[in-house]
Each structure stands twice: as structure tokens, then as C-alpha cells.
Structure 1
Amino acid sequence: MADGRWGEAVESWRSLEGKEAVGVGEECRKCNEAVCLLYTGRLEEARAVLEGLVDEGKVAAGGVFNLATVYELCSDASRGLKMGLAERVAGLGVEMVGASFKM
């Protein structure tokens, strides 16, 4: 990632799936994978990865912020998508500030 080799980084992050011994949690791995997908222009894949984390109840400020960014890049209706995301996160009992949702 640091070298800007985003496509290779996607594959590297994916290769760590299920390998807890490497010291990287699954949420962190998926967030990094999604960022790399974003930088390779694979927005729908990045969106699916990040939305999957929310579906699993795994929400952190960084992942939510990244998903809000993907919404801005994917749709003219990003405000509605971000509002829906805020409602989903609140429904999980997680409190976050508006900045996490880029509002």
C-alpha cells in the first residue's frame, strides 16, 4: 500500500483472510482491502466489503468514514446513503459523531 501498488495490495490483504496469527484483525484486513479496491477504481467491490462489515455488526470510525467516502464516489444520492448508514450504525447501539459519516 505504501508504495502505491494497490492491485497487489488487494491480493495481499485477501491472502490473509482467516489467518489470525498474523496479528491483523479481520475488520482491519477488510478495511485495508477496501481502501486498496477504492484506489484501483473498484468502487462496487469496496462498497460490498465495507457494507459487509456493517452487516456483521463490525463498525469502527475508520470503516464508516471509508464507506461514506465510497458512497460519495458511487452515487449522486450519497447524503441519503450516509443517513441510512448512520441509522444502521445507531441501530447496532454504536455511537459515532457526524464526522464519521462525513456529514
Structure 2
Amino acid sequence: MTSIEIQPWDGVEAIETEATAADGRWLSLYAAPLPACPWGRWAWTVDTQAGAGDHELRPVAMGIEYSPETARAAAEAAARHWLQPRPRLEAVA
């Protein structure tokens, strides 16, 4: 199992952090309240730079939660899932 470190969340209105695996792979995590949502829901996203442009991020997971705490927890769970090592399959002739 790969060690995954999630930095403390930072921000006032929208919050962000990074998750880094022991092998150097990293993901950016963001969460923010949905504008004008009567239920106070929060959107979260987990993004990677792999496969994106030099100054771009590509989302790998996103969702909507009913509080900032559950949005943070969901984003962290998704980041841990995406940073786990995957077995490599090779075709043999």
C-alpha cells in the first residue's frame, strides 16, 4: 500500500489542498459552496495535471455534498482511491 499524505485544507470561502503519494504522484483537491443553493450544498473536485496542458488541470473525480465537512471527506476519499497503485496488466503472446 502506498503512503498518501493530504495537506491541511486552506481557504476561506473555497478551500483547497493537495494529496501526494509516496512515489511523487499528486492530485489537487478543491471544494466550494454552490452559489445560491438553498440547501447550502458544496461541490468538490479532484484534479490531476497528467494528460492536461502545462498550466491546466484535468478532473478525475467530482461530486456534490451537503456540508463542507462531507465535501472534504469525499474529496479525500476520492484522492486516496486515485493515488493507490494499480496492478499493471501485460499481454502475453
Common fold by TM > 0.5: no
- Higher relative contact order (CA closer than 8 Å, sequence separation 6+): 2
TM-score norm. by structure 1 comes to 0.24
Larger radius of gyration: 2
TM-score norm. by structure 2 comes to 0.25
Q: Comparing both structures, which one devotes a greater share of its residues to helix? A: 1
